Amino acid sequence: MPVTLVVGGQWGDEGKAKIIDYLARDSDYVVRYAGGANAGHTVVVDGARFAFHLVPSGILYPHATCVLGGGMVIDPIALANEIDGVKKKGIDVDGRIFVSDQAHVVFPYHIEMDAGTETRLGSSSIGTTRRGIAPAYVDKVGRKGVRMGDLLRPRAEVEQLFSKKFREKNKELKSLGLETLPVQESVERLLRARKKIQPLITDTRVILWSALEQKRKILCEGAQGTLLDVDHGTYPYVTSSSSSAGGAVAGAGLPPSSLERVIGIFKAYCTRVGNGPFPTEDKRRMGDKLRELGGEYGTTTGRPRRCGWFDAVAARTVVKLNGITEVAITKLDVLDSFDEIKICTSYRCGRRRLDYFPTNVRSLERCKPEYEVVKGWKKKTNSGGKPRLPRKAAAYVRYLEKLMGCRVHLVSLGPDRKAMVKLS
C-alpha cells in the first residue's frame, strides 16, 4: 500500500518539512494529520524560504494535492491568511487544498484561554505556542467542539452557532479572570474567513480512499514530534494531539494497514522549545554554539530553542514505538566545526541503567544521561557543490544507526532542497 509517513523523532522542529519537500516530488497527496498552527515547517528552495503552519509543505509541487486531515485543529482565520500568503508567493492553489470536515475549529477564545492560562502559570507554564491548541482539543474530546463541517451549514445558522459559542465562552473567560471578546466583531471576522475556506471543506477520507484504490502515492506529514505526543511524550509537557505514527492513521482517516514506510526524522543533535525535561540539554557554551550554528529559533514563535546532544535512548524508544522503517538525519552540517561530539547512549537512574525512555517525567528527571564522546570531522559537509559525507561524519551516522536500531537512508546537510545525501 502506497502510504509513507514522515514522523518527528524528537521534540519537534527536526526538519520534517525539508524531508517532506524531498519526498513530495514523487507523491500525489500530502496529508497533515495532527496539530494545527503550532507547527512551523520550513522549506528552502534556491534561497527562497517558505514557512508553513497549517498548509502541507507539499504545496510547493504543482502536481501535489494537499489535505488537512480530520485529526487537526484549524484556526479558519489563520488558514485563510496562510493560503493568501502562499498565493502571493505565486503558488497556484486552485483545486489543490482540501480540508477535512472532521477537523475541529480553533476559535479566538481558544487562543485567549491558551495565552491566559500560560501567563497565569508563569514559571510553571508548559511554554505552549499560544495558538489555542490545547483548549481546542479539550472542547473536541469534551464533545463541545465545532467541526469544520459545521461551517458548511447555511450562513445564518453558522452565525447563530458562532454567537452562541462566543457568549458561552465569554462567561468562561470572565470566570478565569481573562479578557472577554467582542461577540459581533469576532463572529464577523470568522464569517469572512469561512467564506474563503468553505469551498475546500469536504470528506477528505473518501478522496484518500479513492487515491489508495488508484495506487496513488500518499505522504503523511507529521507535525510536532513523538516526544511531544500526548500519550507517549513527556506529559504534561506535551502538545494535545497524537503526533506519533498511531495518530497518523486516525488523523488522516487512512487504514493502519495502508502504511508502507514510516520515516523517522531526527536532528544530528537535539532541541526543544518550551518547558519540560530534556536530559541531554547543554545549557552552557556547546548548547549556545549549537543554537547559533543551527539557527535554532522557532519558526512559529521565534523563541530560542534549547539545545543539546543526540539522545539515543529516546531515539531507540521512538523507533520502536512508531515502527520506524528508515531514518533521516538532518542538520549534520551544524556539527561540522565541533572538535568533539557527545552522544547519550544510556541513562543512569539511581543504581539502574535504562535503555528506554521512561513513561513519566518524574522518572526522567531522576535519570542522568551517560555519554560517549566521538571526534568531530572538522570539515565542511556542504560547500556548495555536490554534498558528500566525510569519512568521520559517515561513521557518526553509522554509529547513530547502530544505537537506534534502524537504517539511516537520508542525511540532510543544509536547509536547501539540494543539500541532501541518499545512503544506500
Contact 12, 224 (CB under 8 A): yes
Among all chains, which residue has been given the C-alpha cell 496539530? Answer: 35
Nearest 5°: the CA angle 93, 418, 416 is 70
Q: How far apart are CA 197 and CA 93, in angstroms?
A: 12
For residue 64, how many C-alpha atoms fall within 13 Å in the half-sphere facing its CB? Answer: 26
Q: Is 60 in the site for ligand GDP (CB under 6 A)?
A: no
Q: Is 226 in the site for Mg ion (CB under 5 A)?
A: no
* Options 21, 26, 28, 41, the catalytic residue: 41
Site string for ligand IMO, 132-161 (x = CB under 6 A): -xx---------------------------
Q: Which residues of 267-306 are buried (b: 16+ CB within 10 A; e: fewer)?
A: bbbbbbbbbbbbbbbbeeebbebbbebbebebbbbeeebb
Q: Which parts of 41-100 interact with Mg ion (CB under 5 A)?
A: none
Q: Which is nearer to ligand IMO, 170 or 224 (CB)?
A: 224
Q: Which parts of 325-344 interact with ligand GDP (CB under 6 A)?
A: 330-331, 333-334
Q: Is 139 in the site for ligand GDP (CB under 6 A)?
A: no
Q: Is 414 in the site for Mg ion (CB under 5 A)?
A: no
Q: Which is nearer to Mg ion, 204 or 243 (CB)?
A: 243
Q: How far is the CB of 21 from ligand GDP (least distance, A)?
A: 9
What are the grid coordinates assigned to 93, written together?
492553489
Q: Is 14 in the site for ligand GDP (CB under 6 A)?
A: yes
Strands 65-68 and 326-330: unpaired
Q: Where are the alpha helices (DSSP H) in 256-311?
A: 285-294
Q: What is the 3-state secondary structure (H, E, C) of 249-270?
A: HHHHCCCHHHEEEEEEEEECCE
Q: Is 264 in the site for ligand IMO (CB under 6 A)?
A: no
Q: Which residues of 323-345 are buried (b: 16+ CB within 10 A; e: fewer)?
A: ebbebbbbbbbbbbebeebbbbb
Site string for Mg ion, 6-25 (x = CB under 5 A): -------x------------
Element (H, E) at 38: none
Q: Which parts of 287-316 interact with ligand IMO (CB under 6 A)?
A: 299
What are the grid coordinates assigned to 155, written together?
450562513
Q: Which is nearer to ligand GDP, 287 or 414 (CB)?
A: 414
Q: Is 224 in the site for ligand IMO (CB under 6 A)?
A: yes
Q: Is 19 in the site for ligand IMO (CB under 6 A)?
A: no
| Number of neighbours of residue 424 by Cβ within 10 angstroms | 4
Size of the site for ligand IMO (CB under 6 A): 24
Q: How far apart are CA 71 and CA 92, in angstroms?
A: 26
- Judged by CB under 6 A, which of 2, 9, 15, 40 binds ligand IMO? 40
> Which residues, listed in sequence order, are joined to residue 422 by a DSSP beta bridge?
410
Is 53 in the active site? Answer: no
Is 13 in the active site? Answer: yes
Q: Is 38 in the site for ligand IMO (CB under 6 A)?
A: yes
End-to-end CA, the chain = 23
Footprint on this chain of ligand IMO (rule: CB under 6 A): 8, 11-13, 38-41, 126-129, 131, 133-134, 223-225, 228, 239-240, 273-274, 299
Footprint on this chain of ligand GDP (rule: CB under 6 A): 8, 12-18, 40-42, 44, 295, 299, 330-331, 333-334, 412-415
Footprint on this chain of Mg ion (rule: CB under 5 A): 13, 40, 299
- Active-site residues, by number, are 13, 41
